[in-house]
Structure 1
């Protein structure tokens, strides 16, 4: 049986007995609204640079964030969001992934229709919440979980083989932000820093040739986490995703 995502964190707390995760993380008061899409999912044009991943990840329960954006480092962070109307709101709320930047009237979250609808305790309550447009909420950061995935690297569509390489970092688990990315130049035997172009997109002009090893730096962790072998082939293709072999 596959549990709905809104129950997974709560069940993990009960089974794993992690009081630091379940009890000590307080909620922050804020407000949330939503944007419209034809299918209820997110938008592929989000400022994180995720493309279709930003539309469909977490079953399309995603959000644009404002103060939590953190210059793009907040891309991919997961949050439990619950609204405060005791008559209409589900007691857990929902979990959304930050895939875009968005600022409104004192709102920290501008949610996809799929995400916003999960705030209600039932479909009719969700429809009533949508009529309000903006609702009072509280939120907290929670771990992202992507069963069966290591961190993946997508070759961004702006790349130009072989000299300009732009990467998008996908499926980052837990509660870590990607703060830096470096790529190994096997000819010069040195690590070269990549620039955060915007959101979750890192790039380098004059990319090294040949199969490429990567290493990533994460918030709250000392040192680098390196791919165990070449994560990107020499003949990398634009739009293709590769397993980084990085486990956080």
Structure 2
């Protein structure tokens, strides 16, 4: 009888220690601010190179980040950000997509106005904006793009056929794209593209004809694998054009 009681007490104490860890360890404390925008959306000139996608994706709830930028690998990742002031902010906060690099006053996030306002309780947006910088906590979450495959955008700086630059968008889940390669048919080998900046990959004198691509992914579980799409980019590709990969990424 005494052993059973001691066992129950031990289990209860163990749960009391474990429960706070489960509830709080997922979030990281930080600070957030916002940047100006004439229409409250993001900016098409972000350091990730997303262009219009970076302005309007996720209904404009986007952010520039500092250490989470990770030399461009963090471009396109998603985070749940919530303000820790219960008088001004709602509990759920906002899910944002990283589309830019930015440094603030000890902040990890510089949010678009749409993103920042979604931190607030109803009718508390103006007071929250008056603060300028707020304490937040955040965690990485899966990006959700219902109905969208991964898309390849030929960057506007591309010059057919001598210079090819590429941006990969709509990569769902918690996946990091760490390498991109083109198939060189005459040499029968994969040739790596260079990360030019942010999420922009480029190559001088790309292979002629249609372009076969593959990209390397690190999943949320830490697994590394290659994803390949055949005939993804047509022979006569154009700068600014967007092509469907027919691929969907998930967790």
The verdict on a shared fold, with TM-score over 0.5 as the criterion, is: yes
Unaligned runs of 5+ in 2: 1-21
Distance across 2 between alignment mates of 1:159 and 1:107: 34
Distance across 2 between alignment mates of 1:141 and 1:119: 16
SS at match of 2:127: helix
SS at match of 2:172: coil
Of structures 1 and 2, the larger Rg is shown by 2
Match of 2:26 in 1: 26
Task: Specify whether residues 58 and 184 from structure 1 end up closer, same or farther in structure 2 by C-alpha distance, changes over 3 A only.
Answer: same
Distance across 2 between alignment mates of 1:25 and 1:206: 48
Q: Is the 8 A contact 2:69 2:75 kept in 1?
A: yes
Shift of 1:61: 0.2
Q: Is the 8 A contact 1:64 1:98 kept in 2?
A: yes
Match of 2:239 in 1: 238
Q: Is the 8 A contact 1:88 1:121 kept in 2?
A: yes
SS at match of 1:71: helix
Shift of 1:24: 8.3
Deviation >4 Å, runs of 4+:
22-25
Q: Is the 8 A contact 1:25 1:140 kept in 2?
A: no
Are 2:163 and 1:128 equivalent residues in the alignment?
A: no
Shift of 1:189: 1.6
Distance across 2 between alignment mates of 1:24 and 1:247: 31
Q: Is the 8 A contact 2:148 2:248 kept in 1?
A: no
Shift of 1:150: 1.3
Unaligned runs of 5+ in 1: 1-21
Distance across 2 between alignment mates of 1:39 and 1:25: 36
Match of 2:148 in 1: 149
* TM-score normalised by structure 1 residue count: 0.88
- What is the 5 A alignment of 1:42-57? 42-57=42-57
Distance across 1 between alignment mates of 2:202 and 2:209: 17
What are the superposed Cα offsets for residues 89-147 of structure 1, whole Å, 9 maximum, x if unpaired? 0110000000000001100000000000000011x211101000000000000000101
Q: Is the 8 A contact 2:80 2:93 kept in 1?
A: yes
* TM-score normalised by structure 2 residue count: 0.87
Shift of 1:215: 0.5
Distance across 1 between alignment mates of 2:93 and 2:99: 19
Match of 1:225 in 2: 227
The structure whose residues are more often strand, as a share, is 2
Match of 2:37 in 1: 37
